[in-house]
Amino acid sequence: MRKGGSWTALIVGALSISTAVAGELRLLPEQVQLTGSEARHRVRAFRFEDGFAGPVEKANLKSGNPKVVKIDSAGTLIAVGNGETTVTALASDGSKATTAVRVKGIDVPHEWSFRNHVQPVLMKGGCNSGACHGALAGKGGFTLSLRGYDPEGDFFSITRGARGRRVEVANPAYSLLLTKPTAATRHKGGKVIDPNSRDYRILAEWVAAGAKGPTDEDARLDHIEVLPEQSLLKVGDKQPLIVRAHYNDGRVEDVTHWAKFTSSNEVVAFVDDKTGIVSVVGHGEGAVTAWFDSKIVIARVTSPFENQIAESVYSKAERRNFIDDLVLAQLNRLNLKPSPRTNDSEFIRRVYLDTIGVLPTAEETGAFLASKESNKRGKVIDHLLSRPEFVDYWSYRWADLLMINGRLLRPEALKSYYMWLRGCIESNTPWDEIARQLVTATGSSLENGATNFFAVNQDPETMAENVSQTFLALSINCAKCHNHPLEKWTNDQYYGFANLFARVRGKGWGGDPRNGDGMRTLYVEPRGDLIQPRTGKPQIPAPLDGEPLTPDATDDRREHLAEWLTSPDNPYFTRAVANRVWAAFFGIGIVDPVDDLRASNPASNEPLLASISDHLAKSDYDLKSLMRTILQSETYQRSSMTVPENESEERYFSHYYPRRLMAEVLYDAISNVSGVPGDFNAVKLQDGSEQKTEFYPKGTRALQLYDSAVSSYFLKTFGRNERAIACECERSNQPSMVQVLHLSNGVTVNDKLTKKESRASILAKDTRPNAAIIEDAYLSCLSRKPTPQETSQFEKLFADTPEAEKQMVVEDLFWALMTSREFLFQH
Amino acid sequence: MFDFLADHRANLCGGSHLSRRQFLQAGVLGAAGLSLPQYLAAKQAGGVKPGHDQRSCIMIFNLGGPSHIDLWDMKPDAPSEIRGPFKPIRTKSPDIDISEILPLHAKIADKFSLIRSCYHSGAAVHDAGWQIMQTGRRFTGGINTPHAGSVASYLMRQRSDLPPFVVLPELMGRGGGNLPNGQAGGFLGKAFDPFELLADPSVENFNVPDLLPPDQIGAARLERRRTMREIVDGAVRNFEASEDARLYDDNFAAAYRIMTSPQARSAFDLSKEPKKIRERYGMNRVGQCMLLARRLVENGVRFVTVNTFLTVFNELSWDIHGSKPFINVDQMKGEVAPMYDQAYSALIEDLDQRGMLEDTLVTGLCEFGRTPKVNPAGGRDHWPQCFTVSFAGGGVKGGRVIGKSDPIGGFPAERPVTPGDVVATIFHSLGLDPNSHLPGPAGRPFPLTDFGTEPVKELFA
């Protein structure tokens, strides 16, 4: 044995070890503090480059002082005696890295804590999972709180339930708490804890020490961290993770063994739920979520595509603004090639549809294509942002989120709600101001349309859920009954949040939303609280993780909520709306789905989302400014044509992703191109009956409707948002056979074509050569001229048709154009 | 032509390396099932067993979660707060007692068998149950597994111009959740989603919406339109990498086949049925959907899902919480159960009389059962821990009871059966080998059923 202790080979299970890569060797974590004789902490060596860890590195470990810390064969540090030392890792190429270790409290008698040790063991064993004793009704007469959110209740159930048979202090091994999970007595859940494990010892020693309950003096978990935070790996690599819990008494413990792991993108990486070892199976960026005691942390895994791309592709790529920098950086990291810039015809069609929801006219397209101005794209963008159709389109989109729905509101109230929203969009009211007006609204439903936000959900719980869903893109519903299983939200936070709305009242609320004239008055009572059912007491009102309010203050609690909601310190508010705007232009959010911003659903490009959010906050929530920045970016203006080096990706914005036009935009495009507007004159109510409406004069476009309940087979079939819940996910752009049958055979296209005022009928009488008619039809439908080949093919079909049937052949030309994917899709 | 089993990436969601022509072939067939050579390859590889060429499945999905204790797993000896208001009656099978509110079931009890020990460990919410029961696997984030009908239409040969997988009358709607609910193709791709009828076959002059071109479009114009569409659509290549866009093309091809097929048109035409038969099924949506399901199977559809109800909110369903917006026990007794009793017994009888029952599996599924204890509103709440499912035809021997629940219907007491077992049983009846593989996400081979799941073979013995 050499002087100073022996080297321990760091063996990490059956991990495959990649060949050594360049980069600085680091031993993680770089500082370890071991408190007490039971303290353990694993260390792992990685090579780092640009902040990314490579695959775990085979290394030998040596303790600087075995009287302070020793190292077992699995690479775990074990406290031996008080003092400080270092642990050194020696890699096969001779490079070294160290971890500073401090051991203290070795002489203090060790006690396991119910809250911080026993509960995690039960969690890891799955005892308190929803399928077992964590179910609302428990299992086999034994009930635990779901994933241990209620330590006091669980302690009671363990020590006092079943007439105390669950713990035998005098003879711990006979406790049901130990005989059941080891399957020593009959246990339906089978054997979940090994009698030779440390977990068993924790439970046994806790019982033996008197089975003490949770106390107010217990150290509380502050946050958790994961190491390494980001790794750059290859398919086939396996990467171990370390999860550390930081307690408010300063202790930091290795809780990897008790953490629960899930992969957010199993196309890129799997994770072993028990060990936290990540296996890379595909290309792209994935994330692994570690959950411990209602805290969440994310480890990112990057696995570059196997393309050969010259560095100059990125360094010489066009960049308009920060969006391009951040997208290109990611493409570079992932070895994905950006598609080139889109051509002018595609651009003008795309930017019209995405910004104002209408097709450019043949004249507008012609002028744009002919223009030689260098900044003509920028000019079109500015022009569109100030068009009146911009107001129609964006009012419609936000109305989806705000549930402006004739099945929930009477016509006059519905109109007032819509007109309020429309006014906001027209004056480009900043988003934080829109949010503030909505959540603090009071008064008459007809005079202040914003009050109807609360009329569609009239109890405090649903109000809270909807505010969260709408403005934070967070679903907190799970926390109504128990701590959110995938998130950090607790049951107490839910009720604290809901209690902010406990005093909101509506004169005339309740009953069937269809009754009466829709005139309701929203006011706020000076007192009243929502009871937290678990405790039977009101929960102190607080906005989720914000500061609690004084419960007996009589002012409107929603004012406080609005402050917290729109504060620059609230990360969710800005990210939620920035991500929604982004998704409106790209068809996919940076976080996707856009209604799901929980921490365990990470962004595909976090710096990008952070930067557009920052941009929005700095521009005082001017949504148009964010839209302009997005539209001007080279990223937005890329072709939808893939290149071989990016064709399989749909997350990192290397090209524009074709998507079917949204139902209303498609309907309007069909009306517009055919020259025959639609009719919207009835509303379909909850019970299926129809009611006439006179809100919409002839010529009203689908995007100008206030209401999602307006009867329309077309809009329903093409997946409009029915606005029954506050979720953009209610809208579907999925193709289906039913849609195809409707386009082919249904009234929408066919009836419009045969009308005598239709564009097809007019062009059929046109005396110009057929080529001119064909070109007109192409320009209006597809915003491009036909190719010479297309022209000649159609000219031949025209020539083969008798003059008497010209109307029909022109109709068929339009039908073919309007059912082509080039028409149906945004591209 | 590609070998779909040898190359797992050659599927519709990951087919970017296929040429357009290959894709079109794969896609058109995809939307309409396998081609003969593919089918034969699948058969050779053990994907489809011999002797099952004519097999089909009608999956009845009882939205809301029928009360097993009030219907097909009665507990007459339990205390009154458990046993509820109804009494069991004897049936044509000595082994089956059934609720007095299902008298027509009693007369055909020799034709169907019940599994009284089904359970699942998903959340007690409707959507979770739909998802887990129709795909056989619980969604835990990430991988969205396909409906059993999508798997069948992927693996089984197309028997006609009709789509291989149809849902009547439409997909189940909002159930309160926001996760995949197992009614579609999942990772197999949207090409294997079901064809949705989107109409109520019980209304007068019922027609499949837009099945036929307008009168003025004759065969010649239809053909000209198709030619023209191909001219336009072939011009740009921007869509090759987009699954949605490729699928639109496939849908156009498949739609063209349906529109131009007399058999397909006639299959949907309920007016061809004698009035007596229509009335035997019941002149309501549930009854006429069951009848239409029979016609579709008769005309070559492989898999039909009949959703007896569409939502639990403010409409009829099996969701007897006893308080609004859900239904109560009286509504179940007076409306829901009689309607189902009539339609189900008519379907089984009809299939039997036509000699179709041997090749048509009819399974009655649901998202969960209901609480053993009657709640204060006189209803019962969600209970996935134990419930009953039914099987008839498709090789299943009738008149049996498989498995047993405990004395209050709270948990399986014998022979617990999981959703994975239920779906494996469907595959078994259809002749699909549960040990074969599907092309999963990112080309990873994905077993038809999970390790540990088994068909309930006692049903067939």
Token pair 């067993």: residue: B49
Whether residue B87 lies within 8 A of chain A, CB to CB, comes out as no
Q: Which two tokens stand for residue B150?
A: 């999508």
Whether residue B263 lies within 8 A of chain A, CB to CB, comes out as no
For residue B1, name the pLDDT band (cuts at 50, 70, 90).
Answer: very low
Percent of chain A with pLDDT over 70: 96
- Select the residue of B31, B239, B256 nearest A825 (Cβ to Cβ): B239
Task: Give A-chain residues touching B231 at CB under 8 angstroms.
Answer: 790, 793-794, 816
Structure-model confidence comparison of residues B26 and A280, the more confident one: A280
User: To the nearest whole number, what is the mean pLDDT of chain A?
Assistant: 91
User: To the nearest whole number, what is the mean pLDDT of chain B?
Assistant: 86
Q: What is the pLDDT of residue B236?
A: 74
Structure-model confidence comparison of residues B89 and A726, the more confident one: B89
CA atoms within 13 A on the CB side of A779: 17
Residues whose CB is less than 8 angstroms from the CB of residue B204 and which lie 6 or more positions away in sequence, other chains included = none
Res B103 pLDDT > 70 = yes
Res A749 pLDDT > 60 = yes
Pick the residue of A462, A595, A736 with the most B CBs within 10 A to test the interface with B by mutation. Answer: A736
Per residue in A57-74, pLDDT tens?
A: 999 999 999 999 999 999
Q: ipTM of this predicted complex?
A: 0.81
Res B35 pLDDT > 60 = no
Q: What is the pLDDT of residue A15?
A: 42
- Tell me how far apart the alpha carbons of residues B63 and B134 are, in angstroms, rounded to a whole number: 12
Task: Give B-chain residues touching A789 at CB under 8 angstroms.
Answer: 235
Per residue in A371-404, pLDDT tens?
A: 999 999 999 999 999 999 999 999 999 999 999 9
Helix axes A431-439, A411-426, angle to 10 degrees: 150
Please answer yes or no on whether B121 and A131 come within 8 Å at the CB atom.
yes
- The mean per-residue pLDDT over the stretch A221-241 comes to 95
Residue A559 main-chain phi, psi, to 5 deg: -65, -45
Q: What is the pLDDT of residue A165?
A: 81
Residues whose CB is less than 8 angstroms from the CB of residue A807 and which lie 6 or more positions away in sequence, other chains included = A760, A761, A764
Percent of chain A with pLDDT over 90: 73
Whether residue B241 lies within 8 A of chain A, CB to CB, comes out as yes
A60 burial level (CB within 10 Å; 0-12, 13-18, 19+): middle
Task: Give A-chain residues touching B174 at CB under 8 angstroms.
Answer: 724-725
Q: What is the pLDDT of residue B260?
A: 85
Pick the residue of B228, B247, B261 with the most A CBs within 10 A to test the interface with A by mutation. Answer: B228
For residue A704, name the pLDDT band (cuts at 50, 70, 90).
Answer: very high
Q: Among A260-274, B289-303, B307-321, which is the least confidently predicted range?
A: A260-274
Tell which residue, A807, A679, A797, has the closest CA to residue A753: A807
Structure-model confidence comparison of residues B83 and B8, the more confident one: B83
Structure-model confidence comparison of residues A1 and B375, the more confident one: B375
> How many Å lie between the alpha carbon of A266 and the closest alpha carbon of chain B?
6
Tell which residue, A781, A799, A290, has the closest CA to residue B233: A781
Q: What is the pLDDT of residue B19?
A: 30
Res B287 pLDDT > 70 = yes
Res B400 pLDDT > 90 = yes
Per residue in A81-104, pLDDT tens?
A: 999 999 999 998 899 999 999 999
* Dihedral sign (CA A66, A69, A72, A74): negative
- Tell me how far apart the alpha carbons of residues A631 and B25 are, in angstroms, rounded to a whole number: 38
Res A17 pLDDT > 80 = no
Q: What is the pLDDT of residue A781?
A: 95
Task: Give B-chain residues touching A686 at CB under 8 angstroms.
Answer: 314
Chain A: residue whose CA lies nearest to B223: A812
Tell which residue, B301, B298, B269, B434, has the closest CA to residue B357: B298
Q: What is the pLDDT of residue A559?
A: 94
Between the CA of residue B300 and those of A638, A727, B33, B153, B161, what are the distances in Å?
A: 46, 39, 12, 12, 8
* Strand duo B437-439 + A682-684: pairing: unpaired
Q: What's the predicted TM-score (pTM) here?
A: 0.81
- Select the residue of B178, B254, B259 nearest A729 (Cβ to Cβ): B178
Whether residue B225 lies within 8 A of chain A, CB to CB, comes out as yes
Q: What is the pLDDT of residue A795?
A: 96
Q: What is the pLDDT of residue A5?
A: 53
Per residue in B371-385, pLDDT tens?
A: 999 998 899 999 999
For residue B47, name the pLDDT band (cuts at 50, 70, 90).
Answer: low
- H helix or E strand, kind and range, residue B177: none
Res A729 pLDDT > 80 = no
- Select the residue of B224, B225, B242 nearest A658 (Cβ to Cβ): B242
Res B92 pLDDT > 60 = yes
For residue B342, name the pLDDT band (cuts at 50, 70, 90).
Answer: very high
Res A284 pLDDT > 50 = yes
Per residue in A479-488, pLDDT tens?
A: 877 777 667 7
Q: What is the pLDDT of residue B29?
A: 35
Task: Give B-chain residues touching A657 at CB under 8 angstroms.
Answer: 242
Q: What is the pLDDT of residue A513?
A: 64
For residue B6, name the pLDDT band (cuts at 50, 70, 90).
Answer: very low
Structure-model confidence comparison of residues A469 and B15, the more confident one: A469
A347, A353 Cβ separation under 8 angstroms = no
Task: Give B-chain residues touching A658 at CB under 8 angstroms.
Answer: 238-239, 242, 244-245
Residue A336 has what DSSP assignment? Answer: -
Whether residue B324 lies within 8 A of chain A, CB to CB, comes out as no
Please answer yes or no on whether B142 and A265 come within 8 Å at the CB atom.
yes
> How many Å lie between the alpha carbon of A799 and the closest alpha carbon of chain B?
13
Per residue in A804-827, pLDDT tens?
A: 899 999 999 999 999 999 999 999
Res A408 pLDDT > 60 = yes
Per residue in A544-580, pLDDT tens?
A: 888 899 888 888 999 999 999 999 888 899 999 999 9
Structure-model confidence comparison of residues B149 and B242, the more confident one: B149
Between the CA of residue A188 and those of A139, A159, A360, B148, B450, what are the distances in Å?
A: 9, 21, 66, 30, 21
Q: What is the pLDDT of residue B443?
A: 62
Pick the residue of A468, A687, A737, A797 with the most B CBs within 10 A to test the interface with B by mutation. Answer: A737
- Tell me how far apart the alpha carbons of residues A758 and A745 are, in angstroms, rounded to a whole number: 18
Per residue in A314-361, pLDDT tens?
A: 999 999 999 999 999 999 999 999 999 999 999 999 999 999 999 999
Tell which residue, A821, A802, A817, A804, has the closest CA to residue A765: A804
- The mean per-residue pLDDT over the stretch B209-225 comes to 89
Q: Centre a 10 Å sphere on the Cβ of residue B437 and count the other Cβ atoms it contains.
A: 15
Task: Give B-chain residues touching A796 at CB under 8 angstroms.
Answer: none
For residue A785, name the pLDDT band (cuts at 50, 70, 90).
Answer: very high
Percent of chain B with pLDDT over 90: 60
Res B418 pLDDT > 90 = yes
Whether residue B427 lies within 8 A of chain A, CB to CB, comes out as no
